[in-house]
Amino acid sequence: MSVTSYRDAGRLQRAFQRENDHRALFIAYIMAGDPDLETSFELLKGLAEHADVIELGMPFSDPMAEGPTIQLASQRSLAAGTKMRDVLGLVRRFRETNTVTPIVLMGYLNPVLFHGYEAFANDAADAGADGVIIVDCPPEEAGPLTDALEAAQMNLIRLATPTTDDARLEVLVKRTSGFIYYVSVAGVTGVLEADADAVAGPVARIRAASGLPVAVGFGIKTPERAAAVARVADGVVVGSALVDEIASAAKLNENVTEKVLLKASELAKAVRSARLELA
């Protein structure tokens, strides 16, 4: 029995190679299975109209780097019974109609370790995922996971933070690909606000050290801020602000997809209108 494979090693790189546009990519984050898989599927399809890359959260029981918004999204997803195979199933279903928009899976190590690194890397690549961000797996521990991802031609995207100095940056950029995710605040997701001015320096430094595009996330909630960050970074990640829309719409019995896509279109417009000032 053969199952369609949606492997495409170049999808993510192509997304960042929009040199003619001179603009940052808009990267939208949602949690898979929040509030349920069907809504996530509708959201993925809709978000692809606005976002250049989609980050898809893999729920975890103990998301230590997340603020309340994404913690609760994780809980809603797990309460709805979301499993790893459902998350990958969602990607696969999305790929049946969209083979262009890259999907980056973001989560914590234990569910991936439980699945087995090689099995995870192969299943995720076949489903059509393009990269993986594992919050609690620093380079010191990433060897075996990196081997598996490289073999499956999946990108391992690393986080750099305000506490990352030059020496640490050298450690970080080894065996990393796709892009570097700069966490603009020392803190958890969705709580503190990113300062666009403070982001410019580190982004340029990381870009130079890695030779990779740098996307900035954590603490970007409004179109204004997204635009400000878009002027200095290669990508702008918005997560909690979208997940907040999911939570409030679900609570008020409103149309979740409609509300989230409205927010996403505002953010996308703001990011697209801002020209990237490449140093």
Partner 1 sequence: MNVPNKPNDWSAYPDAKGRFGDYGGLYVAETLMPLVLELDRAYTEAKNDPSFQKELAGYLTHYVGRPSPLYFAERLSRRLGGAKIYFKREELNHTGAHKINNCMGQILLAQRMGKTRIIAETGAGQHGVASATVTARFGLPCVVYMGAVDVARQKPNVFRMNLLGAEVRPVTSGAATLKDAMNEAMRDWVTNVADTYYMIGTAAGPHPYPAMVRDFQAVIGNETREQIQELEGRLPDAVVACVGGGSNAIGMFHPFLADETVKIYGVEASGHGLETDKHAASLTGGRPGVLHGNKTYLLQDDDGQILDAHSISAGLDYPGIGPEHSFLHDIGRAQYLTCTDDEALAAFQLCAELEGIIPALESAHAIAKLPQLAKEIGEGGVIVLCLSGRGDKDIFTVADALGRTI
Minimum distance between the CB of residue 189 and partner 1, rounded to whole angstroms?
A: 10
Minimum distance between the CB of residue 55 and partner 1, rounded to whole angstroms?
A: 16
The nearer residue to partner 1, 71 or 146, going by C-beta atoms, is 71
Which of 49, 55, 170, 254 is the catalytic position? Answer: 55
Minimum distance between the CB of residue 258 and partner 1, rounded to whole angstroms?
A: 29
The nearer residue to partner 1, 4 or 61, going by C-beta atoms, is 61
Amino acid (one-letter) located at 119: A
Which of 38, 66, 150, 258 is the catalytic position? Answer: 66
The nearer residue to partner 1, 15 or 58, going by C-beta atoms, is 58
Q: Catalytic site residue 66?
A: yes
Contact partners, residue 78, CB within 8 Å, separation at least 6? 33, 59, 61
Q: Catalytic site residue 140?
A: no
Minimum distance between the CB of residue 52 and partner 1, rounded to whole angstroms?
A: 24
Minimum distance between the CB of residue 192 and partner 1, rounded to whole angstroms?
A: 7
Contacting residues toward partner 1, per CB under 8 A: 59-68, 71, 75, 78, 83-84, 108-115, 135-138, 140-141, 158-165, 168, 172, 183, 186-188, 191-192
The nearer residue to partner 1, 223 or 239, going by C-beta atoms, is 239
The nearer residue to partner 1, 113 or 209, going by C-beta atoms, is 113
Please identify every residue annotated as catalytic.
55, 66
